[in-house]
Amino acid sequence: MKLEKLIESNDTFEVPKNVIFQYQKIAYIDFDELKEFINDSKFEISFYPSETSKPLTNYNFNEVNTGGNEFLCNWNECDIGVKIFDYRENYKTRRYKKRIFYDYAVLFLVKSKTNKISFFEIPYYKEMFLAHSCPGEGYIHEYGGIKYHNMHLSVSNDYKFGVPIFPTNINDNFFTCGILEQPSLPKLHLGFKLKDSHKDIMKISKKNYPDSLERTCNKKGNEKEFQYLDENSQVDEKRSMMLIEDNKYVHFGGKNYIFDTSIVEQRQERINGDIPSPVVPRCIEKTKTYYGELLPTLGDTKNIFKKVSSNIYYQIITKNDYDKEFEAKCLTRIGDGKDKSLYKYFSKAIKYSMIKSDTKEEVGNMKFQENNFEAYGAYSCEITHKAKLLTNDIIRERELYLIPENNHSFKLQKQKFDKSSKQHISCKVLHFANIESFEVVKDNVVISNVEVKKSKTEYLIIFKDMDDLTLYDESTSIKLTCHYDVPDIKNKFTLTQNYEINTIPDYWISFMDK
């Protein structure tokens, strides 16, 4: 391609402010055309200025000749972006005051119909994986508006980092190392072509690929440990591979691979020889299956207690908790909960929500008040989705009782009844507490001539004789006190409700006739 015939660009190139160009050009490199020559074996683009009547020099932004006027884009490094070309060799002839003038700035961009570029091919077979290195953040030079984002480490300033190469979904034929963002072009996935081949795995491993063992694999020297989760161990039914740091977390269904990736991570100034072969794992460890509980919490567990004899978890809400906002969330707990490596054991295997046990409604943040009973009760964490391998005996849903202090009395808001009211006075049916007794009082006199009918949500108080409710004034008041006991925990509390009755409801009279 000749500089003069390249596409003109009217955009402002991302370059140092003191650099001025006479011409700005764009050169598109078509990877699909190059594949015919590289035959999918090795990705490399090389450019050399052709012989001209004038000496043509390629500069970078540090005023250093790139050496041989060559620049590359391959697995090892990529020089695409803005390139400077000038027919003058003398640096001083291009400099005026603090500005530097060049003849040409060319923005080199790579495109592909599939939006994928494979460095080369790497085999796998079932869960037999090999490791190689992916480009890190240093893969692309800073100028030209081109960005590279690796997909496997949150922070990596290295030029390369070793990772196992595997299909993230069944029958995937490409492994993405990172994504290349270029001006005016779709995102480009860079990585390796995958080949499902037991034969090639055996050839590379020299028929010595390690078996999966139920024992601990201990890292040695510069080795790296990765944890693999298959599609049956994760709720999203995908596959994933995580680098295990010193404070490692164990996940349900995990399998650990130990690799020495130091050979493939070495930076090469130029690739003039063979690319390093993929790395075979030294050890593969099947992780142990742990059994746990899914428990509702209010932010932390320090105030949660367990009644061992009845397997009940409970938290007593005290006066110090009133009018505070608590974060309602679910916690997976294994054993005594002290092993930090198991804190995230079920995090990829289940999805859940915290609900109130009696209403089945999902809850968010909660607030407790002295005379508001609504937030108290039994709560559970309901598993909405789970991994295929996760059976009910591996993780059990537990209830948490949020109960008042012993002998606390709630004075609920007054309710009004008239002729058309469709409710009875009633005590609540509570999922976590039993009713011990109740009292109906009118004008300081206890009314005992009543009948109790239980529904799913209430103990309905039915008056047998309406003479007990004869209205001598425009209205009368009834006070109902319900006494409760929390089994096993032995906490007692009362709910007191005042009712103002303007006219005896027809609904109450209809119950007398039944």
Computed on alpha carbons and rounded to an integer, the radius of gyration of the chain in Å comes to 37
Do 368 and 432 belong to one domain?
Answer: no
pLDDT at 305 over 50: yes
Residue 110 shares a structural domain with residue 158: yes
Do 232 and 255 fall within a single domain?
A: yes
Cα–Cα distances (Å) from 179 to 191, 192, 309, 433, 473, in that order, read: 9, 13, 56, 57, 81
CA distance 244 to 234: 18
Cα–Cα–Cα angle for 99, 105, 107, rounded to 5 degrees: 135
Choose the most confident range, by mean pLDDT, from 39-53, 57-71, 221-235.
221-235
* Lowest-confidence segment of 214-223, 390-399, 486-495 by average pLDDT: 214-223
Q: How many C-beta atoms lie closer than 10 Å to residue 368's C-beta?
A: 21
Residues 6+ apart with CB under 8 A from 1: 27
**Confidence at residue 254, expressed as pLDDT on a 0 to 100 scale:** 92
Q: How confident is the model at residue 63 (pLDDT cuts 50, 70, 90)?
A: very low
**What distances in angstroms separate CA 27 from CA 5, 111, 139, 239, 330, one per listed residue?**
10, 10, 20, 38, 55
Pairing of strands 434-442, 377-386: unpaired
Pairwise pLDDT comparison (445 vs 394), residue with the higher score: 394
Given strand 426-428, what is the order of strands in its sheet?
A: 426-428, 458-463, 450-454
> What secondary structure letter does DSSP report for 510?
H
Please give the pLDDT value at position 71.
Answer: 63
Q: What stretch of H or E contains 130?
A: strand 130-135
Tokens describing residue 507: 């609904």
Task: Tell me if 377 sits within 8 A of 402, measured CB to CB.
Answer: yes
Whether residue 215 sits in one domain with residue 86: yes
The domain that holds 308 is classified in CATH as 2.60.40
Sheet holding 116-124, edge to edge: 116-124, 188-196, 174-181, 147-150
Of the pLDDT bands very low, low, confident and very high (cuts 50, 70, 90), residue 268 is low
Range of the domain at 451: 409-512
Q: Which residues pair with 246 in a beta bridge?
A: none
pLDDT band for position 258 (50/70/90)? very high
Name the domain count of the chain: 3
Confidence band of 54 (pLDDT split at 50, 70, 90): very low
Amino acid 93: pLDDT: 52
Res 66 pLDDT > 50: no
Q: Are 345 and 335 in contact (CB under 8 A)?
A: no
- Examine the fold and report which residue of 286, 301, 328 is the final residue of a domain before the chain moves on: 286
- Domain stops at, among 378, 404, 430: 404
Average pLDDT of every residue of the chain: 84
189 and 146 fall within a common domain: yes
Q: Are residues 305 and 267 in the same domain?
A: no
Q: State mean pLDDT over 229-248.
A: 88
Same domain, 388 and 434: no
> Are 387 and 450 in the same domain?
no
Helix (H) or strand (E) holding 506: helix 506-512
* 69 or 290, greater pLDDT: 290
Q: What residues contact 70, with CB distance under 8 A and at least 6 apart?
A: 46, 47, 48
Looking at the structure, tell me whether residues 338 and 476 fall in a common domain: no
pLDDT at position 271 over 60: no
Residue 316 shares a structural domain with residue 426: no
Residues 417 and 460 in one domain: yes
312-349 per-position pLDDT tens digit: 899 999 999 999 999 999 999 998 888 888 989 999 99
Residue-level pLDDT at 468:
63
180 confidence band (pLDDT: 50, 70, 90): very high
**Residue, of 21 and 172, whose pLDDT is higher:** 172
- pLDDT band of residue 285 (cuts 50, 70, 90) is very high
Whether the model pTM is above 0.85: no
Q: So what's the pLDDT on residue 420?
A: 80
Name the burial class of residue 450, with classes exposed (0-12), middle (13-18) and buried (19+) by CB atoms within 10 angstroms of its CB: middle
What is the C-alpha separation between 404 and 411, in angstroms, rounded? 13
CA distance 311 to 295: 12
Q: Looking at the structure, do residues 121 and 150 belong to the same domain, yes or no? A: yes
**Average pLDDT estimate for 158-178:** 90
Domain boundary among 239, 258, 286: 286
Q: Any idea which of 141-150, 257-266, 382-391 has the lowest mean pLDDT?
A: 141-150
Decide which of 444 and 292 is more confident.
292
